[in-house]
């Protein structure tokens, strides 16, 4: 297929773009490099440096879009909500209108567990209430709502994948944020000597060891889900799937696994809770397993940390 991958210079987008190229698709990456890196665009993909509001011409000959380009920092979204509404919702509406104008009928959208907010139960099902607790999650949920409307009105075939915590790497394609807020990259920065210690945000949660529990999914398993979602896009339907490994790991457990994998002591300090962090976020991925036959192959946290560490220390090719 001829595919447009928006945000294909970012972490998840670059891994998916690489897998699509390997699967024989003709891939064009559209990215404004506001947070991505041009050298993350995989060889074999065409690169267009532009915003998602400027996608009209590049969509002319495309069969489908995989849409990753977005602002994705929860804290920043609380400080600058307008940026999130404009980019994530406004930008996506412009993209959807350009797709409609050019007759591009399928989209796979990078949604998030943040659409659910503080869950009432665990694991979270796709039918559970969506009450985002920050503008990032709210802007992604608004796109999900828009996709349902476009599916109804214009026959768009849409699939939203709601990621939980993405980790790991694919060869050299890894997480590289200028402002790093995520746990695993921050813990590994201690092992590389870039930071002296990791701060654990809160040890007084109602969880077995008092630290927050999250569901980590390997970026390669996530990429596989995108390839399946692309095939599953059906005109006039908007399908939504959670994506996690179905197992929760606490912050303390993550730090321990990073110590084992890197052989570094990784000093940890206890800090206050981070605003807006739910105690436990674990996905039920039963629906995508059942309907699309998806199965994680690297569900062990140690595999994710090993691959992230390998890419960081230049051990993988």
Q: Is 5 in the site for ligand UDP (CB under 6 A)?
A: no
Q: Which of 12, 95, 158, 251 binds ligand UDP (CB under 6 A)?
A: 251
- 148, 98 in Cβ contact below 8 A? no
Which of the ranges 24-32, 44-52, 103-111, 181-189 carries the binding residues for ligand UDP, by CB under 6 A? 181-189
Q: Which of 199, 237, 286, 300 binds ligand UDP (CB under 6 A)?
A: 199
168: left (phi over 0), alpha (psi -120 to 50) or beta: left
Q: Which of 51, 122, 186, 256 binds ligand UDP (CB under 6 A)?
A: 186
- How many residues bind ligand UDP (CB under 6 A)? The answer is 14
By annotation, the residues acting in catalysis are 136
Handedness of CA 185, 113, 94, 77 (dihedral sign): negative
| Start-to-end CA span in the chain (Å) | 27
Nearest to ligand UDP of 82, 272 (CB atom):
272
Nearest to ligand UDP of 229, 254 (CB atom):
254
Residue nearest ligand UDP by beta-carbon distance: 212
Q: Is 274 in the site for ligand UDP (CB under 6 A)?
A: yes
User: From CA 29, how far away is CA 230, in angstroms rounded?
Assistant: 16
Tell how strand 157-163 and strand 198-201 pair up.
unpaired
CB of 276 to ligand UDP, least distance (A): 8
The values of phi and psi at residue 215, to 5°, are -105, 110
CB of 257 to ligand UDP, least distance (A): 13
Closest listed residue to residue 295, CA positions, set 233, 220, 184, 213: 220
CB of 306 to ligand UDP, least distance (A): 18
Q: Is 183 in the site for ligand UDP (CB under 6 A)?
A: yes
Q: Is 165 in the site for ligand UDP (CB under 6 A)?
A: yes
CB of 106 to ligand UDP, least distance (A): 28
Contacts for 174-180: CB closer than 8 Å, 24+ residues apart: 174/11, 174/308, 174/311, 174/312, 175/11, 175/308, 176/11, 176/37, 176/40, 177/11, 177/35, 178/35, 179/73, 179/76
User: From CA 146, how far away is CA 73, in angstroms rounded?
Assistant: 22
Nearest to ligand UDP of 148, 207 (CB atom):
207
| Orientation angle between helical segments 183-191 and 251-262, nearest 10 degrees | 40
CB of 216 to ligand UDP, least distance (A): 9
Residues pairing with 242 in the sheet: 162
CB of 82 to ligand UDP, least distance (A): 22
Q: Which of 49, 80, 122, 201 binds ligand UDP (CB under 6 A)?
A: 201
Burial of 228 (0-12, 13-18, 19+ CB in 10 A): middle
User: Mask of contacts with ligand UDP, 109-148, x by CB under 6 A?
Assistant: ----------------------------------------
Tell how strand 64-67 and strand 46-49 pair up.
unpaired
Q: Is 37 in the site for ligand UDP (CB under 6 A)?
A: no
CB of 248 to ligand UDP, least distance (A): 11
Nearest to ligand UDP of 65, 212 (CB atom):
212
Binding site for ligand UDP (CB under 6 A): 165, 181-183, 186, 198-201, 212, 214, 251, 274, 277
């Amino acid at each position: 297929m001829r595919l447009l991958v928006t945000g294909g210079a970012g972490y998840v987008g670059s891994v998916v773009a690489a897998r699509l190229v390997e699967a024989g698709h003709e891939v064009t990456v559209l990215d404004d490099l506001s947070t991505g890196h041009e050298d993350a665009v995989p060889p074999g993909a065409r690169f267009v440096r532009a915003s998602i509001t400027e996608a009209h011409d590049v969509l002319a000959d495309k069969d489908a879009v995989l849409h990753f380009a977005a602002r994705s920092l929860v804290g920043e979204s609380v400080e600058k909500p307008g940026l999130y509404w404009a980019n994530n919702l406004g930008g996506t509406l412009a993209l959807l209108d350009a797709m409609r104008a050019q007759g591009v009928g399928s989209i796979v959208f990078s949604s998030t567990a943040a659409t659910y907010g503080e869950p009432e139960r665990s694991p979270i099902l796709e039918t559970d209430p969506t009450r985002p607790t920050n503008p990032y999650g709210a802007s992604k949920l608004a796109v999900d709502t828009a996709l349902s409307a476009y599916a109804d009105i214009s026959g768009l075939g849409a699939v939203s994948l709601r990621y939980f915590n993405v980790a790991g790497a694919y060869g050299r394609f890894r997480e590289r944020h200028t402002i790093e807020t995520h746990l695993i990259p921050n813990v590994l920065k201690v092992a590389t000597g870039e930071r002296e210690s990791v701060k654990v945000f809160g040890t007084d949660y109602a969880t077995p060891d008092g630290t927050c529990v999250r569901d980590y999914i390997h970026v390669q398993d996530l990429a596989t889900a995108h390839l399946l979602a692309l095939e599953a896009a059906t005109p006039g339907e908007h399908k939504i799937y959670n994506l996690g490994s179905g197992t929760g790991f606490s912050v303390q457990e993550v730090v321990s696994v990073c110590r084992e994998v890197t052989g570094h002591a990784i000093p940890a300090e206890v800090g206050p809770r981070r605003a807006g962090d739910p105690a436990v976020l674990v996905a039920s991925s039963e629906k995508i397993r059942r309907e699309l036959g998806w199965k994680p192959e690297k569900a062990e946290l140690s595999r994710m940390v090993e691959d992230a560490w390998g890419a960081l220390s230049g051990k993988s090719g």
